[in-house]
Structure formats: structure tokens, C-alpha cells
Structure 1
Amino acid sequence: MSRYLCEPSYERDGVDDRRDQWARELPDVDTRGMAVLGRARRLTLLVRPQIDAVLASHGLDAGEADVLFTLLRAGPPYRLRPTELFKSMMVSSGGMTHRLNKLSQAGLIERRPAEEDGRSLLVELSETGRRTAEAAFREDMALEARLLAGLSDAEQEQLAALLRRLEGSLTADRQ
């Protein structure tokens, strides 16, 4: 019998099997991290293709969608400085430049001189970019709601709170 029991309504998974194997081979090693982080990694790998397909149906990859979504949630007039985008998305400046070039060529963003400093450019959603971002985001959130339908609303809130707490504890060490 497994050392790691699942709720009766859920089947064992590969993480349970691996933990059992490690418990036999190295019984003194605590594998609880694998139970959480291993599953988080597996979930990411499982849902990423579905999310990527939604974004691709709107002509976007994940990085480009991230830029458009960041501009959209900034609210009207849907514009930010490249450094604001860069800092909020934690990508290299070169990576940001590449994304902005692609989005500009696709007509989804425009780069405008800042009124207060003509040397500085602002990144702004075009009307096409705003419509694309909104449609892609709505479809992505509908997909994510379907993916989480196996959990009750209360379970989703609890899981989100636990993940927020875990992320907070991990990022506190970096500050």
C-alpha cells in the first residue's frame, strides 16, 4: 500500500508513484516538495498547449499576448513606457524589443513620442490591438475556467490563496 494516500474520489498519479519509489530507495528524504512543485510543473505542461492554441488562434504567442494584456489592463489610453512593460513582465530589454517590433509590424501596437519628453516613446494599443487583446483574453479566461471546473469555487479560492502564500514566501527571500 502506498505511503501517500489520495482522497477516495481521486486516482493516484505519477507523482504518487514517484514518491513511493523514492520512499523505498531513500526513505529518509522528504518528498513533499515533489508533491506540490512536481504537480505544479505537470499542470503547467498539461495546460500550456491549450492556452498557446487559444493565443495562436488570435495570431499571438504567449510573450506577445503578455504585452497586449498588460497594455489592456492598464486602461485607457492603453499606453505605457517600454520600461514599465519591461519591469512588469520580467523579460530582457532585448526580448521586449523583439516583442514590440513584432506587434508593431502586425499593427497591434503603435509607438508614439511622449508628450513631455520627445526622446521617449510610449507603447500604445492600436484599435486592432485592443480588440485582439480583449478577444484573446476573454477566450483564455473561459478556457482556464473550464480547466478549473473540477474544483469548487471554494477550492479554487483556497488553492489560489495557498499558491499566493507560497509565491510570497519564495519571493520574500529574493528581496
Structure 2
Amino acid sequence: MATPDLDHVGRIMAQWREERPDLDPSPQGVIGRLHRLAARLTEELVAVYGEFGLGEGEFDVLATLRRTGAPYELTPGDLAAQTMVSSGAVTKRVDRCLEQGWVTRRVGDGDARGRVIALTESGREVIDAAFTAHMANEHRLVDLLDELERARLAHLLEKWGRALDQAD
């Protein structure tokens, strides 16, 4: 079935309608497109992080520490919770940031077994520059939609996310 006016997901849905007319593939119109868009957006974002010598994980750690405000430090557990990755992933990300001198790791004040990850001055400089470029990049990407479309999309995504969170 030739459908040149359809996007990639639209062509897949048309194929499924042809092969399995007993099923409704319409959710792919949302989920498939979101999946493809997320992958494409990640490519665009990671390219900018790379300009500053950062990978996605390092950017996430530095940005999380920076946005917490002075003294720009968190426990590994807090970093894991705020970045939504496992403690093992946080350790790997922090280790890479330590190698670059962007963070320090020290014993916590109240518990000798605990650790605290803190942003260094060079870490703050790199994340401030990277975040400025990141925001310009995100504006470039969302400016492909008009203001009303962006507001509607943000609202719908928030609503859907909350509904999924409540369903858990």
C-alpha cells in the first residue's frame, strides 16, 4: 500500500490496518510518534552537551547539583532520586565528573558512612555555559511550534504524566 503523504508512524499504522483490520493501531499515532520524537530530541540535546565535553549523565549530575542552589551539594541518594536513575548509575556518572574535576566526593557531616557530592567551581562554570546553550537549543526546538501549540502540548503531557503516575 503506497502512502507517500504519511509520516513513518502513519505508514506503519496503515500497514497494521491492512494486515490486522481486527485491531485498532491508533495508539501508535501518539506513542510511536512520541517515541520517535524523544529519540530525535535526545540526539539534538546530546549534541549540545558534547560541545562542553559532557555526556547526558554528566550534564544531568551537574545540572541537578547547580539547580539545588548553594552550597551545590547532595548525597548520592538525593542525586539518584532527583535524576531518576539507580544509585549504581549515579556512582558511574559522579565518577566521570570527579575525573574531570567538576565535583568532589566527601564524607558526610553527620555520618561517616555517608557521602556528599559537591559541585566545584570548574563544574559550575561548565554547567552554567552548557545550560545556557542547552536552553537556547531547547527554545530552538520548541519554537518549531507556535506559542499556543507549545502550551497545549505541555498541558497535555503534564496531564497524561500525572494520570500515569496516579495509576501506579
What is the TM-score when the length of structure 2 is the normalising length? 0.90
> How far apart are the structure 2 equivalents of 1:31 and 1:167?
21
Tell me the amino acid that sits aligned with residue 35 of structure 1. G
- Residue 32 of structure 1, CA deviation: 2.1
Is the aligned partner of 1:169 residue 2:163? Answer: yes
Equivalence for 1:57: 51
- Residue 113 of structure 1, CA deviation: 2.8
Aligned-partner SS, 1:167: helix
Equivalence for 1:7: none
Tell me the amino acid that sits aligned with residue 36 of structure 1. V
Aligned-partner SS, 1:75: coil
Equivalence for 1:96: 90
The CA RMSD over aligned residues, in Å, is 1.7
> How far apart are the structure 2 equivalents of 1:31 and 1:99?
39
Q: Percent identical across equivalent pairs?
A: 38
- Residue 93 of structure 1, CA deviation: 1.8
Q: Of 81, 89, 102, which residue of structure 2 is paired with 1:108?
A: 102
Tell me the amino acid that sits aligned with residue 102 of structure 1. R
> How far apart are the structure 2 equivalents of 1:49 and 1:32?
26
> How far apart are the structure 2 equivalents of 1:75 and 1:32?
44
- Give 1:9-158 correspondences, 5 Å limit: 12-158=6-152
> How far apart are the structure 1 equivalents of 2:18 and 2:109?
67
Q: How many residues align?
A: 165
What is the TM-score when the length of structure 1 is the normalising length? 0.87
Q: Which runs of 4+ in 1 moved over 4 A?
A: none
Aligned-partner SS, 1:112: strand
Tell me the amino acid that sits aligned with residue 22 of structure 1. W
**Unmatched runs of 5 consecutive residues or more in structure 2:** none
> How far apart are the structure 1 equivalents of 2:94 and 2:144?
37
> How far apart are the structure 1 equivalents of 2:50 and 2:160?
31
Deviations 1:131-159 (A, max 9, x none): 11111112112111111112111211110
